[in-house]
Structure 1
């Protein structure tokens, strides 16, 4: 028997998240891609999430989830080699929540610096593991 793990949020939850995020993230533009529109004979628009402060849409999910935590849950541990780490770091800083972010040794220095910049004194970065999978296992073990 296969267990279904896909989560589909209720429309009301999506609306709540959109309202919550309205003051926390940039309202990024839609920009028509003339190249793709011509190639596929359709009007193709790109949602420019690369214009977010963390250069990714990942801030949306990270902030929404971290904001929902209560009490003893208000500490975040994750593993990431980039954009997710930046979203978590900025969310932790803005919400005043401690974060511990595991990053593999192969993470570019620029990404580590960005996570430090966004998380400031709220985030501890642990560089350990050769791959993302290694870092993820270490993050899970840290939580035990």
Structure 2
């Protein structure tokens, strides 16, 4: 099973849409606090439709807590606009964690610096600063799913 991690997500409809993506791909969604909304937020549930109750979701107090709860050989990939290595160059495996940052700031710089060899990007034209978080998750998650179904 794949894992999607949202570190400090801020916008409820993005998280709701990502929850639907996770349900559609049998992926575990991990939310790392602080969250910019309540899990009972109407916007979150509206975006997740009536699927939200079926999403496999875990909420963590910190990113360190999430990592400590996983096996030592878990692989984490950090999505960022600050590197050149495209996501499609990675060979994803069952059990991988795809880690995304909050909508306004992305992932913390120290986290990226300490994991440079696991940072990936979604290539885009220079005129584009970034993509919507739910769109980004969908792009990378479905590439991982495609690779796993192909192998």
TM range (shorter): 0.3 to 0.5
Identify, as 1 or 2, the structure richer in helix.
Answer: 1
TM-score, normalised by the number of residues in structure 2: 0.32
Relative contact order higher in (CA < 8 Å, ≥ 6 apart):
2
